Amino acid sequence: MGNGPVQRPTLKDIAQKTGYSINTVSRALRNMPDIAVETRERIREVAREMGYHNNALASSLRLGRTNTIAVIIPDISNLFYAFALVEIERGAREQGYSTILLNTSESGAFEQNAIKTALQKNVDGIIFGPAQQSLDNTRMLMGSGTPFVQFARHFESVNADFCVGDDKLGGYQATAHLIEKGHRNILLLNGLAAHNSSARDRQAGYRAAHEAAGLPVQPDLVREVSILAGDVGQQLMGMLRQRPDITAVFAYSDLVALSAMAHLQQNGVRVPQDISIVGFDYIQSCINLPVPLTTVDIKIREMAAAALKCLLEKIAGPDSSKVVCQKFTRTELVPGATVQDIN
């Protein structure tokens, strides 16, 4: 019979073993200056021997601070969010914070649970990539008193911090690029605009580019696909049958664009000879793909770093309800080899 799981040693245990009080042990381990050097060394040595680790639960309870932030995002398997997370986690770690990840799968219900979990765990702050199924979750967050920053998407209707890309500009750049290359019938394979500020803004940019060029926006060329499920293929191939005059696709994201390309290829449609494609996000800034996708750089790292910086400022600041940062990272067109000049 084993002697059961070994209990982790506590300050008390060290105190008993060394003969000092709990208080002294605590101060010694934290390198407080008012402890005799010998005492400190002795205590630290015993602590090491016993395999002592500070119990963050107890510390945090006492200190009212967990040195933990939560990252709540719609889909960690989306490279955009994955890369953002890397940046956030790294930056947070450097500042002494650990990161709790909560994935919402674009679901409002999961998101609500995620927020509750984060609040219950007393995180010091939250990087919040809203699924935007409803405003309620954001309101809950605002009412909680916990500092948070909206990331990648945001609600225009509330006054809160955000770091997002300039989606309208990006949508404009992508579309204008295609128009410039002679394309007139451009399919917008958008995300679900009803619930997604990025999708809405990119669409606004698409529209603006048409207007600037004196071209009509053709409503049937604006389609929405589920970003997650990847039902891109059917939508796309269906559209191309209906409107064989389509010569270009502006995709909501690089992932949608890549998925579209995969389906086109499977159906013998060549990119860019038959169809031109522009994506969004520039995930190739983080990963080497053998597909030189023309896309819009949304500055993933910059956006992530800005969001973290903003959050840490809010955490340090006296008033978490004060808006510190409402930032649009400036997008940039990245030419690749997926757009054909048909002029």
Q: 227: Cβ–Cβ under 8 A, 6 or more apart, which residues?
A: 75, 78, 106, 191, 192, 252, 253, 255, 256
24 binds DNA (CB under 7 A): yes
Radius of gyration of the chain measured on its C-alpha atoms: 26
Supply the minimum distance, in Å, between the C-beta of residue 72 and its own copies: 11
- Choose between 36 and 337: whose C-beta lies nearer to DNA: 36
- Binders in 52-71 for DNA, by CB under 7 A: 52, 54-55, 57-59, 61-64
- Choose between 20 and 128: whose C-beta lies nearer to DNA: 20
Check: CB of residue 154 under 8 Å from CB of residue 162: yes
- Binders in 171-190 for its own copies, by CB under 8 A: none
Give the Å distances, CA to CA, from 313 to 144, 200, 256, 307, 308: 18, 29, 35, 10, 8
- For residues 67 to 106, the per-residue mask of contacts with its own copies, x marking binding by CB under 8 A and - elsewhere, is -x------xxx-x--xx-xx--xx--x----xxxxxx-x-
Can you tell me the distance from the alpha carbon of 81 to that of 255, in angstroms, rounded to the nearest whole number? Answer: 12
61 binds its own copies (CB under 8 A): yes
Give the Å distances, CA to CA, from 318 to 172, 312, 314, 321, 323: 39, 12, 8, 9, 12
261 binds its own copies (CB under 8 A): yes
Structure tokens of 215?
């071209």
45 binds DNA (CB under 7 A): no
Site for its own copies, rule CB under 8 A: 2, 4-8, 51, 53-58, 60-61, 66, 68, 75-77, 79, 82-83, 85-86, 89-90, 93, 98-103, 105, 110, 113, 116-117, 119-122, 143-145, 230, 232, 255, 258-259, 261-265, 271, 286-292, 318-321
